[in-house]
Chain A
Amino acid sequence: MTRYLLRRLVELVPTALVIIAASFALVRLAPGSPFSSEKEIPPEIRQQLEAKYGFDRPLPEQFVRYVGNLLRGDLGLSTKYPQRTVNEIIAAGFPVTLSLAAVALVWSLLVGITAGIIGAVRQNTAWDHAAMTTALVGISVPSFVLGPLLVLVVSLRLHLLPPAGWGDWRHLILPGLTLGTIYAASIARLTRGGMLEVIRSDFIRTARAKGLSERLVIWRHMLRGGLLPVVSYLGPAIASMLTGSVVVEKIFNVPGIGPYFVDAAFNRDYFLVMGIVLLYAFFLLLLNLVVDVLYGLLDPRIDYS
């Protein structure tokens, strides 16, 4: 297990290098400049601006410099927010996105697993159909529909929660629900499917034959097997909750880092784009690793040694 972990960690290094090089090249290949606007800037001033960020140097030199700074943990300066470093911007926004994803995750697991269990245990009953129909609707309704609908009903009609903004727990609920629902729906279907797969397997029959109570059979044996597909789904799901929060963060004006994905690229805010891409790449790689390790713990058939 330790050897496996080490090997995986070593493999991360070339992957990361490829990501850095590729995103650096792509960002710089895009036409346009971070300093262009519809009003012309005098060429002398433009040179000063470019010199400040080092854009006046040859590209290979800039790349080497960037990687050097990266190793020291310095992600560079933003061109769109010239008084902020990319480190500062991420430090301000990432906890926000994380807390939003946390609410969404808790919500999706709570609702999804509960609905999935009900569906599996009461298979082909009204309970099952109700849960799965709801899940189908949940998967089909995109967040840019669900979000405004929640705002309309909860905020503008019932006056229960603020329509947008950030500050206290009340601002977390609507965006959290909006972001989490689509995953809750997927988790419900996956849990149900996973449990149905094991429900008729030999070890469940054995467990029942041993005289275990139905509750213990469900919780200890069926759920453990049934959750395997959910676990493998959770890695990419968490990653996409973090990256997919772009739309939700726009609708609810949440000051997370989601919108930078789009805006920083549009603004040609080179270092900010790079910083965000690298952050997400890091999380994706990390979550994949965690999922693989969790698999080994959950499924006795998988053995990494």
Chain B
Amino acid sequence: MRKLQRGLSETFRTAGRSIVLLMLVAAGGCGDANSPYVGTVRPRHGPNELWINNSSEPEWLDPSRCSDSTGGEIIWNTFEGLVQAHPETLEPLPAIANSWQVSDDGRRYTFFLRPSQWSDGQPLTAHDFVFSFRRLVDPQTASKYASNGFIFTGGAEIARGEASPDSLGVRAVDELTLEVELVDPLPYFLNFLSFYSFMPIPRHLLADLDRRGIDTDLWTRPEHVVCNGPFRMTEWQFRQRMVFAKNPRYWDAASVKLDRVRLAMVESATTALNMYTAGEFDWPGGNTSLPAEFLDHLSGYQDFHQHPYLAVYFYWINTQEPPLDDPLVRRALSLAVDREALVKHVTRGGQIASADLVPTGLAGYEGLGRPVHDPDAARRLLAEAGYPGGKGLPPVTVSFNTSEGHRQVAEALQAMWQQELGIEVELANQEWKVFLANAEQMNFQLCRMGWIGDYADPYTFLELLTSDCGNNHSNWSSPEYDRLLAEANRQADPAARLALLRQAEALALAEQPLIPLYVYTRSQLIKPYVRGIWGNHQDRHPWKYIWIDEAFAAQGGPMPSRRTFAPDILSFTHSTETSRRHPGCVQFPTPLDWHGPAPHPLPSPVARRQEMSP
């Protein structure tokens, strides 16, 4: 789970932003007044280079230990797993695994690996994956994302120290065949498998460092690192920059157009915007947000892009604390919120109003489509609960972590609840770690939260409300809900599974243990000469497809037309079924480019099939 709350020194940021906003007004825009683009449109570097931002210094670049998106960005582009995500649809494509077979019960996968090499020339084998997956759940590794490995049989027991890592349900049949056993027939398994936790680890490098008496935690430093992805790190200046060069030993090196990628670590959104304007960045990158106050202004430029993002903003309700222990009061609160007004006037980033926990259309899921605003029903429910017009209801406190954006949302809700229901609402902002400690100890009445889906499946959100989920901060639990989810995951038929999940969501939201508000969007600026970046709902943009359009760069045109995105970008379906019938062969729509055509054909099913013949 990516940190939703980044950059805690909000004071500086806010101050800086307001000043820059003033400056923008004074200067009449960014750069040339008549340019359809923000700032310069000529690259400040050679043709096969890319300058981007990664927002901050990552915690770990070790796939087994990484738990933040800044590390993930680097791991995704320097390592390659069994499958890779399609750059637009995110469907699983063959990568190190050439093809795969799924057992009839959907719990056993056999991956057939292509012969490939590590960046030091050593052969990459199925044993490297076994080593990596065991290491992920091994308590010795102390990985914050160990739970990602709980999908394999034995994973959870190993992490609890009850079993040896050797007992994990992952086995190398031979050098190039990997067998994986899952706890449940998860339809999202292949999509999830492209996540950075599941990259192979060069165990020969770790053994070598250990032999030489070097701390193996440092294996991802450029002087040591051995990887198997499109790029390899050549320089790492702590909190300044990283430089990556194309890895000539990458199995698909022929598709990689860039020779060099320079990555800066600029935390301030306004500073990053300035650097983009001056041409120091070709693309601020997926981990950089644009300053919220500028979105209106920036959205008029050709190089501005926006797309929905697989993340939901909501409020947890502590369901044990009166008066919110009454589901009627909780439902009244939810119905009284005018979500459309909230996204239109408060958050203003094109967010999608939603009263459901699971975004509609996610992986073929038919959303509940609950009303996003119904004040009359809300008043009726409140009266039914014994508080007509809010009379007799004690004040309710809303907590949020200190941030201008969260405050604005909280203030909007405060006004709506006061106005529609006559409820007195108090706001409490808390510093991030204090906020987290209070959430963990259930020391709140209502508190804001955001959740980013780790994989494209309703379960990534619905799991939040299960009884034994450590992230469930509602004090709400229902054996029936737990049973429905467990049954859904045992269900091999995807349609029946989705129906069960929907039934569970309806059951939970009827009790309203949380108040969903909206689905996130991501807003990006990309220089018009940068091509091969697609908008997708997990905000994953592999560098291997990116190229610099020299024709545009040289003459400053022709302008590529801009594509806007409908919310239905969230709707794609899992391809487990197709891959089950035709192992290794997935079907997906013809890739539409978001930002100019790719210079080389994207992987297509037909091409893959030919390549895949043994």
| Least Cβ–Cβ distance between A173 and chain B, in angstroms | 15
Give the number of chain B interface residues (Cβ < 8 Å). Answer: 67
Are A165 and B274 within 8 A (Cβ)? no
Chain A residue numbers with a CB within 8 Å of B566 are none
Chain A residue numbers with a CB within 8 Å of B209 are none
Known contacts being A37-B1, A255-B238, is A250 close to B16, with CB within 8 Å?
Answer: yes
Chain B residue numbers with a CB within 8 Å of A247 are 12
Are A152 and B27 within 8 A (Cβ)? yes
Are A32 and B433 within 8 A (Cβ)? yes
| Bound-complex Cα distance A84 to B59 (A) | 10
Are B433 and A38 within 8 A (Cβ)? no
Are B238 and A156 within 8 A (Cβ)? no
With an 8 A cutoff between CB atoms, is B161 at the interface? yes
Mark out the residues of chain B between 67 and 97 whose CB falls within 8 Å of any chain A CB in the assembled complex: 67
| Least Cβ–Cβ distance between A154 and chain B, in angstroms | 11
Interface string of B250-291 (1 = CB under 8 A from A): 000000000000001111101100110110100000000000
| Least Cβ–Cβ distance between A253 and chain B, in angstroms | 5
| Least Cβ–Cβ distance between A264 and chain B, in angstroms | 10
Chain A residue numbers with a CB within 8 Å of B67 are 37, 39
| Bound-complex Cα distance A42 to B161 (A) | 11
| Least Cβ–Cβ distance between B419 and chain A, in angstroms | 30
Known contacts being A39-B67, A44-B160, is A268 close to B471, with CB within 8 Å?
Answer: no
With an 8 A cutoff between CB atoms, is B60 at the interface? yes
Are B27 and A157 within 8 A (Cβ)? yes
| Bound-complex Cα distance A41 to B59 (A) | 15
With an 8 A cutoff between CB atoms, is A236 at the interface? no
With an 8 A cutoff between CB atoms, is A138 at the interface? no
Are A148 and B16 within 8 A (Cβ)? yes
| Least Cβ–Cβ distance between B107 and chain A, in angstroms | 23
With an 8 A cutoff between CB atoms, is A294 at the interface? no
Are A163 and B436 within 8 A (Cβ)? no
| Bound-complex Cα distance A80 to B142 (A) | 14
Interface string of B8-33 (1 = CB under 8 A from A): 11001101100110010001001100
Chain A residue numbers with a CB within 8 Å of B13 are 250
Of A33, A83, A163, A252, the residue contacting B278 (CB under 8 A) is: A163
Chain B residue numbers with a CB within 8 Å of A163 are 271, 274-275, 277-278, 280
With an 8 A cutoff between CB atoms, is A266 at the interface? yes
| Least Cβ–Cβ distance between B522 and chain A, in angstroms | 18
Chain A residue numbers with a CB within 8 Å of B471 are 38-40
| Bound-complex Cα distance A259 to B266 (A) | 12
Of B218, B221, B266, B437, the residue contacting A164 (CB under 8 A) is: B266
Partner-binding segment picked from B98-106, B143-151, B541-549: B143-151
With an 8 A cutoff between CB atoms, is A207 at the interface? no
With an 8 A cutoff between CB atoms, is B159 at the interface? yes
| Bound-complex Cα distance A162 to B240 (A) | 15
Known contacts being A48-B139, A250-B9, is A92 close to B270, with CB within 8 Å?
Answer: no
Chain A residue numbers with a CB within 8 Å of B277 are 156, 163
Known contacts being A38-B471, A83-B217, A163-B271, is A48 close to B142, with CB within 8 Å?
Answer: yes
Known contacts being A38-B1, A156-B30, is A93 close to B239, with CB within 8 Å?
Answer: yes
| Bound-complex Cα distance A45 to B470 (A) | 13
Are B278 and A250 within 8 A (Cβ)? no
Chain B residue numbers with a CB within 8 Å of A31 are 433-434, 437-438
Are A156 and B31 within 8 A (Cβ)? yes
With an 8 A cutoff between CB atoms, is B173 at the interface? no
Are A164 and B274 within 8 A (Cβ)? yes
With an 8 A cutoff between CB atoms, is B293 at the interface? no
| Bound-complex Cα distance A83 to B65 (A) | 11
Interface string of A97-140 (1 = CB under 8 A from B): 00000000000000000000000000000000000000000000
Are B16 and A144 within 8 A (Cβ)? yes
Known contacts being A40-B471, A81-B59, A247-B12, is A45 close to B436, with CB within 8 Å?
Answer: no
Are B449 and A259 within 8 A (Cβ)? no
Chain B residue numbers with a CB within 8 Å of A156 are 27, 30-31, 39, 274, 277-278
Can you list 16 contacts pairing A with B, beta carbon distance less than 8 Å? A30-B433, A31-B438, A38-B3, A38-B471, A45-B159, A49-B142, A83-B60, A156-B31, A164-B280, A165-B275, A251-B16, A255-B238, A255-B265, A259-B9, A262-B9, A266-B433
The 7 A-B pairs at the shortest CB distance, nearest first, are namely: A32-B433, A40-B470, A48-B142, A39-B1, A266-B8, A163-B274, A255-B239
Binding site for A on B (CB under 8 A): 1, 3-5, 8-9, 12-13, 15-16, 19-20, 23, 27, 30-31, 39, 57, 59-60, 65, 67, 139-140, 142-144, 146-147, 159-161, 217-218, 220-221, 237-240, 264-268, 270-271, 274-275, 277-278, 280, 431-434, 436-440, 449-451, 469-471
Known: A33-B437, A82-B59. 13 other contacts (CB 8 A): A36-B440, A37-B1, A38-B471, A39-B471, A41-B144, A48-B139, A82-B217, A83-B60, A156-B27, A163-B274, A165-B280, A246-B9, A259-B267
